[in-house]
């Protein structure tokens, strides 16, 4: 176990900048700066919980409802893709859900160059605009 707050807790606390596409009292969604594909979004509970199986049923339900909303927004932007949903939890010991627009399985996505901040900012605005139409 690491000491101190996780990378995601530091983002939530605004100690580290991020391209935030959604936030409420329980969770935050950010564009992944090491995206597997354009639109790759991370949905993160604000409570620092290492393993997703330790989430409360209420929190799990809330995260999956928000994952659906964000996925609908991503589909509006990338209509020819499917949205991969994955929970891995190896690199950051803080539960997070990957939402990845793709037309192939996760392990078949070719390497994607690190997106530049300006491109992420433009995509963030598109996702936020779409979320205003799909949120539950």
Catalytic residue numbers, as ranges:
96
Radius of gyration, CA atoms only, the chain: 14
Edge-to-edge order in the sheet of strand 82-86: 20-23, 27-31, 41-45, 97-102, 82-86
| 96: helix, strand or coil | coil
Task: Pick left, alpha or beta for residue 121 (phi over 0 → left; psi -120 to 50 → alpha; otherwise beta).
Answer: alpha
Smallest CA-to-CA distance from 23 within 58, 57, 62, 54 is with 62
Beta-strand pair 41-45/82-86:
unpaired
């Amino acid at each position: 176990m690491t000491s101190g707050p996780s990378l995601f807790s530091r983002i939530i606390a605004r100690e580290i900048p991020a391209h935030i596409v959604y936030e409420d009292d329980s969770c935050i969604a950010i564009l992944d700066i090491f995206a597997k594909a354009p639109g790759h979004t991370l949905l993160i509970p604000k409570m620092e919980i290492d393993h997703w199986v330790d989430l409360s049923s209420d929190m799990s339900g809330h995260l999956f409802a928000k994952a659906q909303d964000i996925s609908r927004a991503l589909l509006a932007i990338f209509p020819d893709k499917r949205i991969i949903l994955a929970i891995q939890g190896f690199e950051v010991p803080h539960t997070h859900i990957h939402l990845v627009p793709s037309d192939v399985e996760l392990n078949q996505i070719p390497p994607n160059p690190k997106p530049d901040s300006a491109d992420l900012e433009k995509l963030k605005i598109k996702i936020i605009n779409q979320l205003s139409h799909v949120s539950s």
